[in-house]
Amino acid sequence: MKRGMLLCGALVIAGASFALGAETRKSLVSAYDSLADTILGAKKTEHHLVKSILEIHYNAANRLFEDKKFDECAAEMALFANEGDNAVGGIRKRLIEGGHHHNAEGEAKGVYDEGFVIVTKAAKKKALAASAALQAAKDEGGGRKAAWADFEAAAAPLLAGK
C-alpha cells in the first residue's frame, strides 16, 4: 500500500517535472475537470433534493388544507419553512461542520440561515407565521384562507425557482 502510494507520488512528480514551465499535464487537468463536474453536480443535486423535500411538504400541506386537517397542514407548512424536520436538520449540521455551506455568500449577507439551500430567512419567517396563524385560526372562511394565502405567497417563488 505504502509502496503503491510512493510510486503514485513519484509518477505525479515526474509528470509535473516533465511539464515544468510549460503547462499542467493534460490528464491531470482532465481529471480535475471531471471532479469539478462532480463537485458542482453534487451542489446541483443537493438543490434538487431539497426542492423535492419542499415540494413534498408543500403538496402535503395543500392536500391537508383541502381536507380541512388544519393542524396537520400547519405542521407541513412549518416543515417546509425549515427545509425538513430535525432529521434533515441533523444532516445540515453535519454538512456545516464539514465546511459545506450551500449558500455561503447568501449566509454572509444574512439572506439564508446557515446551511439552508432554498428557503430564505424572509420566506422562512413568513411561512412559519402562516403556520402559526393557521393553528390559531378558528374561523373557516377568513383566518384560515388568509393563512394559506400567506403561505402560498412565501412558498411559490421558492418552488418556481430552478
Partner 1 sequence: MNVRFCTVAALAFCAGACDANVPAPPPVRPGAAPAPAKAPGPRFVFTDVTAASGVTTVAWCGRPEKPHLLESGGNGLALFDYDTDGDLDLYVVSGWRLAGEEIAERAKNALWRNRGDGTFEDVTAEAGVGGEAWGTGMAVGDYDGDGRPDLFVTNFGKDALWHNDGGGRFSKVEDGPGIDGWSAGACFFDADGDGDDDLFIAAYVDCTLDDVLHAKPTLDWKGAKVMPGPFGLKGKKDEFFRNDGGKFTKATEEAGLTDVGEYYGFGVAAFDLDENGSLDLYVANDSNPSYVYKNDGRGKFTETGLWCGAGLQGGGAAQAGMGVAVADYDSDGRPDILLTTFADDSATLFRNLGRGLFRDVAIETGVREPSFAPLKWGVVFSDFDLDGDEDLFIANGHIYPQADTAPESRTKFAQRNLLLENADGRFSDATSGAGPGLAVAKSSRGLAMGDLDGDGDVDLVVSNIDSTPTVLRNDSPRGGRHWLTVDAPGALRVAVEAGGRKITRFFVAGGSFCSASEPRFHFGLGAAAKADRVVVTWQRGGETVLTDVAADRIVRAEKR
Binding residues for partner 1, per CB under 8 A? 71, 74-79, 81-82, 84-87, 89-90, 93-94, 96-97, 113, 124-125, 128, 131-132, 135-136
> Which of 149, 158, 151, 144 lies closest to 76, judged by CA?
151
> In this complex, which beta carbon is closest to partner 1, that of residue 24 or of residue 86?
86
Q: Determine the Cα–Cα distance for residues 137 and 52; give it in Å rounded to an integer.
A: 29
For the CB of residue 36, give the shortest distance to partner 1 in the complex, in Å. Answer: 27
> In this complex, which beta carbon is closest to partner 1, that of residue 33 or of residue 71?
71
For the CB of residue 19, give the shortest distance to partner 1 in the complex, in Å. Answer: 39
> In this complex, which beta carbon is closest to partner 1, that of residue 102 or of residue 134?
134
For the CB of residue 60, give the shortest distance to partner 1 in the complex, in Å. Answer: 11
Torsion angle, alpha carbons of 92, 118, 58, 130, to 10? 100
Q: Determine the Cα–Cα distance for residues 36 and 55; give it in Å rounded to an integer.
A: 28
> In this complex, which beta carbon is closest to partner 1, that of residue 25 or of residue 129?
129
What is the SS3 assignment for 100? Answer: coil
Q: Determine the Cα–Cα distance for residues 133 and 127; give it in Å rounded to an integer.
A: 10
For the CB of residue 161, give the shortest distance to partner 1 in the complex, in Å. Answer: 20
